[in-house]
Amino acid sequence: MLGYYFMLGVRSLRRNPLLTALMVLILAVGVAASVSTLTILHVMSGDPIPHKSERLIVPMVDNGPAENYRPGDERGDDQLSYKDAVALLASGQGERRTVIRGVGGPMEPQRKDIPVFASSGLSLTSDFFAMFEVPFKHGSAWSAADDKAGADVMVLSARLAEKLFGDANPLGQRVRFMGQEYGVVGVTAGWNPVPRYHRIIGGDGAFAEEDEFYIPFHNAIRHEMPHNGSMSCNDNRDPGYQALLDSECTWIQPWVELHSAADRAQLKAYMDAYVAEQGKLGRMPRKAPAELYNVMEWLEHRKVVGNDSRLSAMLAFGFLILCLVNTIGLLLAKFSVRAPEVGVRRALGASRKEIFTQFLIESAVVGLAGGLLGLLLALGALSLIGSVSKALEITTRMDWQMLVVTFVMSVAAAVLAGLLPTWRACQVTPAMQLKSQ
């Protein structure tokens, strides 16, 4: 019987073709808008590096003052001081270690046609490139010896390399940054950590742009480069660079890559022992235990998917609800003109339950047609987004879960929209219809 009603629903699409087309189009647009948003949010909130996310760990200690602190209070800042960062690098923990500190300042191009411009990048260790699997177009990362010496070397992003040197291979060339000469040792292969990695390493916002260059961490310290951003404490004094490093005001983000996820307990024991040792030296007065975050825990802790993205999802679902309201009106119009048909069927013995089932299945058929069209519109929208913004290229891929969501949302939307019109159709009085017809 359900199969028979389904065939009736397919045949009913040919009735009032303009009305049917409007319903299908309205549902398709609403579903496409919602599914496109869901796909983007799914990518942004998913695991950006699933094959090693359990092994990439952010270790954090609490450097806050003891005043007004109660055990269990949240840590004030997601940062390490310079002392803690250097100690972690020297600890030998894990397979690789890096610390990340933002730097920024004037870049002085050799080309006379380009004026001095502001540029921002990261100071870090060479392990960073292997940890986050950064591809190279030219050259490679600097050596461990360069890390230790704080050598004047630099890795350029593909975008900055093209801006400074055009299509030429810049390896061995010199660039001048903040008054210092740097030798170019590598160029990333258009590596854009948006949205995959930049969210992990602390980019400003979910759609932040790629950093323009990378230099050794100890180089930035040796040249006394200020942090590119606000410090973690509200101190407007200028105590001198070394005093600033000795304080707890320098924002540095650490990462440790473990040999396996099972080594996490060993790292936790080391960090807790480190906190206890520093407490004996008069530091870390809160004596709070160290905290470890893997990639997904870190993204959740940092609330990477911001309110703007959630607001976009709410707007998309709001638009779907608006489409439902319009679909209800169109279904009421479609079913109301079939009152004589319902009256005849009731007079021939059809129950209200059978009428209800038939019309509800017809609504579901409309939703299925809207889902197919909505899927095509969603794929088109995601492709358009990907072509406009390379940063969102990955969102053009819709996985099977999104395919299921598309059809479920479309059919569910049509069925919900058809509840009231179907109930109204069941209330037809057979005697009145037979008399009037």
The predicted-structure confidence for 223-242, as pLDDT tens digits, reads as follows: 988 876 544 444 444 456 66
Mean pLDDT for the stretch of residues 30-51:
74
What are the pLDDT digits (tens) for 114-140?
A: 999 999 999 999 999 999 888 999 999
Q: Which residue has the higher pLDDT, 27 or 83?
A: 83
Q: Which residue has the higher pLDDT, 4 or 83?
A: 83
Q: Which residue has the higher pLDDT, 189 or 195?
A: 189
Q: How high is the mean pLDDT of the chain?
A: 79
**Can you give the pLDDT at residue 208?**
43
Of the chain, the percentage scoring pLDDT greater than 70 comes to 73
Q: What is the DSSP string of 40-83?
A: HHHHHHS-SSTTTTTTEEEEE-----STT--TTPPPS-S-B-HH
Could you give the angle at the alpha carbon of 103 between the alpha carbons of 102 and 108, nearest 5°? 150
Place of tokens 């707890």: 248
Q: How confident is the model at residue 419 (pLDDT cuts 50, 70, 90)?
A: confident
What are the pLDDT digits (tens) for 242-290?
A: 665 666 656 789 999 999 999 999 999 999 999 999 999 888 888 889 9
Mean pLDDT for the stretch of residues 377-400:
63
CB of 379 closer than 8 Å to CB of 398:
yes
Mean pLDDT for the stretch of residues 285-309:
80
64 CB-side CA count, 13 A = 19
Q: How confident is the model at residue 324 (pLDDT cuts 50, 70, 90)?
A: confident
Query: Is the pTM value of this prediction over 0.85?
Result: no
**Can you give the pLDDT at residue 428?**
63
What is the C-alpha separation between 281 and 261, in angstroms, rounded?
31
**Can you give the pLDDT at residue 1?**
64
N- to C-terminal Cα distance for the chain? 28
Lowest mean pLDDT among 69-73, 317-321, 370-374: 317-321
Mean pLDDT for the stretch of residues 153-159:
94
**Can you give the pLDDT at residue 234?**
45
Classify burial at 317, counting beta carbons within 10 Å of its beta carbon; exposed 0-12, middle 13-18, buried 19 or more.
middle
Q: How confident is the model at residue 205 (pLDDT cuts 50, 70, 90)?
A: very low
User: Which of 58-67, 383-392, 428-437 has the highest mean predicted lDDT (pLDDT)?
Assistant: 58-67
Q: 3-state SS of 240-300?
A: CHHHHHHCCCCCEEEEEECCCHHHHHHHHHHHHHHHHHHHHCCCCCCCCCCEEECHHHHHH
